Amino acid sequence: MARKKAAVDFESSLAELQQLVERLEGGDLSLEDSLTCFEQGIRLTRDCQAALGQAEQKVQILLARDGTLEHVPFDADSQA
């Protein structure tokens, strides 16, 4: 269930980030609103980068096993 939640969080963060970019590119926001959107975008970008980093670590672990399947618990907090 945690894997599904992480994927949903990544997808929703990415969608929200795309909406922020569209709002900023529209040019209709005040300076204050633009800065607020930019700050939120930075947070979302960092969240997405962290999720992608964890996914990359999982892929590297799988590749390092030379294709052999072995059940090993993955603790994202200890990997970061």
* Domain range for 41: 9-63
Please report, for the domain that includes residue 54, its CATH number.
1.10.287.1040
Whole-angstrom Cα Rg for the chain:
17
Q: Is the dihedral of CA 53, 57, 59, 60 positive or negative?
A: positive
Does residue 21 form part of some domain? Answer: yes
Does residue 70 form part of some domain? Answer: no
Does residue 73 form part of some domain? Answer: no
Helix intervals (H) in the chain: 2-26, 31-64, 76-79
Picking from 36, 59, 45, 60, the residue whose alpha carbon sits closest to that of residue 10 is 45
pTM of the model: 0.67
Number of domains in the chain: 1
> pLDDT (tens digit, 9 = 90+) per residue, 9-60?
889 999 999 999 999 999 999 999 999 999 999 999 999 999 999 888 888 8
